Structure 1
Amino acid sequence: MNMKSVTRSRPGRLIAAFALAVTIVTPVVVATSASAATTLTVAQALATQDGRSATVTGYVIGQPTASTTVITSNYTADTAIAIADTATETSTSRMLYVQITTAWRTTFGLLSNPSLRGKQVTATGTLTAYFSHGGLKNPTAMSLGGTAPSPTSSPTPGPTSTSGPYDSTYYASAVGKSGTALRSSLHAIIKVQTTLSYDQVWEALKDTDQDPANANNVILLYTGRSQSKTSNGSGVDDWNREHVWAKSHGDFGTANGPGTDVHHLRPEDVSVNSLRGNKDFDAGGSAVSEAPGCYTDADSFEPRNAVKGDVARMIMYMAIRYEGDDAWPNLEMNDSVSNGTAPYLGRISMLLAWNKLDPPDAFEQRRNQRIYERWQGNRNPFVDHPEWATAIWG
């Protein structure tokens, strides 16, 4: 099917090409350091709490005393520090709690060294929970200073990569495959999940889509607006639960299963959600006044540039997760924008392009991790491996 023509002028709307190369960062090493493969930012370390050994660089914020409490003066012990990607960070959700064992306390304990606050440190250790919070334990090396990658750089390999942190565990049966074999393996992996109720989705979205700059808010998918978590509902300016794979495409509604799968449910402004309706995704149309950067016409919706890849990977997840071998329809992507209530959603050619041009960012990666750890126990493989989209659909 030929793609529809777009005759209107759209200056400034062409997507800028994203760099697909993954930056290799040399870790900071001291004489007593154990070997660590990469140097991570705090955000990256918080997203990979899987027991690996890693080197992390950050700024000392204070002393953690509880899962959500970090004191910044009147320190009580030399046993732990909280570090962040910026020296002015105030949200504990963006801090890594570092255990300070006996060997390092005289130099890195805040009770003994209160002037350490605000300084950059590099630590090598095990990425695992500490104080029931994202942490680094049993440090094998610590030093002042260090050069970390940008906090906005991707800890997950880009579209040309072939390795990732879950390859030897969660994705072990899929790694090295392509085409139908990869598709079948991924389906078997991700269909093992906890199913939420539609009411539970409200609470899940308040966690998964939390504004990194304001823990009281969520980020709305299409508008990009930061809005209070408590303003969810059906009012004109409230936010509600947007089914990115429109629930009428396969007629699965809001019943437990695809209708409540948080991997494709996102907070969105009520009126913008209604405007998108059950339209397929494609480029073209008129500007959406309440959602800058979005466009729509009679049969399709185009999201803003910053979430084009997010939308594509959510649709790809649904096409792999729901294969018709359980109580739910077999969902498939196609190249149409007139799918009606059939279990199809397009346009696949545009979604594949968006996946390449807008690789996963820190927000999308954190969201994937939260769903895996706290809500459903399964992952979106296309967030972890965007290149698998091409390996399956070409």
Structure 2
Amino acid sequence: MVFRHFSKGHKELHRMYQCFMEMGFSDVNNYYANADHLEGKSLKKKLNSIIARHQSLSYREVWNALKLLDASDVDNPKASSGIVEIYSLRVVPKSLAGKPEGWNREHLWPRSYGLKDGPSLTDLHNIRPADVNVNSSRGNKYYGECDVYSTKCLKPANKEAALDTETDKDRWAPPKQHRGDIARALMYMAVCYGFRQPDGGPALHLSDSPKSSTSEMGLLSTLLKWNEIDPPSREEKLRNERVCKFYQHNRNPFVDHPEYASLIWEERSSLRLPRSHEIHNKRQFKTRKHEQPILS
């Protein structure tokens, strides 16, 4: 692992090393203490200062990390022999990593949308196991649901993808039980690398007019909706904890605080959502019950 210096100061170091132990509720609150009462760009900048300083893995090290983070047995991941593919929901052997008939490393925020050789390319918050063929079908399409009146919408998105996936020429919709997870992963990327990348890569942004040439990923309004209707599950929270504890020593703020999303982006989205602090106070972010992965 390589340690990347994004910021300085004892407070940042203390915040990072909190991840070496299981964090209780009070510890997580302390991690984000300086972000209280902020909104918009001020909140985005503060979260960036909290999470941007982290350890970076080599691209080769990502394979073994995924075998633990996305193991089919979330309570005993090291002993588990399988991983869960993000788009097919199938459990496949860890031993098929990188093989044509197996699974590979899917960048939720595509490489062509501004990821360079460095921390953004190997960031575990942004990488999931995916079936090789399904990953190829997705390519670098941005996330979104087919237009209601579209005659060119493919459901499922690939014959090996989950039944509730869909795609057209430009958009890709993952299984419903992972739509919130993916939205929060992209939000993390837009904050962690939203101002600069340490290797000189472009700042990443979310937009309702995504373009790879300007490193703008989307669809922002769809991601905000997915974040609202598909709140963090126990599995997603465990994954966030393990990325922090075992590998990068930083957290995804949107898994810990889904309400941050609309506090940062709702004014820029074409979809007007309720104020996130109102949603949070009404306890509308509830842990969902996942369907069981399909065994193969």
TM-score of the alignment, normalized to the shorter chain, above 0.5: yes
2: CA distance, partners of 1:387 / 1:265: 23
Which of 306, 324, 327 aligns to 2:177? It is 306
2: CA distance, partners of 1:173 / 1:207: 31
Q: Percent sequence identity over matched residues? A: 39
Which of 267, 270, 276 aligns to 2:138? It is 276
2: CA distance, partners of 1:212 / 1:176: 38
Q: Is the 8 A contact 2:22 2:245 kept in 1?
A: no
- Amino acid in the other structure paired with 1:367: R
Q: Is the 8 A contact 1:167 1:175 kept in 2?
A: no
Which of 212, 217, 233 aligns to 2:82? It is 217
1:321 paired with 2:172, answer: no
1:290 paired with 2:151, answer: no
Calculate the TM-score normalised by the size of structure 2: 0.75
1: CA distance, partners of 2:28 / 2:240: 15
2: CA distance, partners of 1:234 / 1:341: 31
1:390 paired with 2:262, answer: yes
1:259 paired with 2:124, answer: no
Alpha-carbon deviation of 1:251? 4.8
Please name the residue that 1:370 is paired with. 242
1: CA distance, partners of 2:34 / 2:107: 30
Higher share of residues assigned strand: 1
Which of 217, 221, 226 aligns to 2:91? It is 226
1: CA distance, partners of 2:106 / 2:230: 21
Runs of 4+ in 1 over 2 A off after TM superposition: 164-169, 323-328
Alpha-carbon deviation of 1:336? 2.0
Please name the residue that 1:197 is paired with. 58
Which of 15, 32, 55 aligns to 1:171? It is 32
Higher share of residues assigned helix: 2
The correspondence of residues 114-263 of structure 1 with structure 2, limited to 5 A, is: 165-212=26-73, 215-235=80-100, 237-252=101-116, 255-263=117-125
Alpha-carbon deviation of 1:324? 3.6
Q: 1:179 to 1:251 in 2, by over 3 A?
A: closer
Report how many aligned residue pairs link the two structures. Answer: 231
> Which of structures 1 and 2 has the bigger CA Rg?
1
Calculate the TM-score normalised by the size of structure 1: 0.57
Q: Is the 8 A contact 2:115 2:121 kept in 1?
A: no
2: CA distance, partners of 1:195 / 1:49: 20
2: CA distance, partners of 1:336 / 1:323: 17
Please name the residue that 2:278 is paired with. none
- Amino acid in the other structure paired with 2:263: A
1: CA distance, partners of 2:106 / 2:88: 12
Q: Is the 8 A contact 2:22 2:241 kept in 1?
A: no
Alpha-carbon deviation of 1:165? 4.0
Give the CA RMSD over aligned residues.
1.6
Please name the residue that 1:349 is paired with. 221
1: CA distance, partners of 2:115 / 2:253: 25
Q: Which runs of 5+ in 2 are unaligned?
A: 1-20, 147-152, 267-296
Q: Is the 8 A contact 1:240 1:270 kept in 2?
A: yes
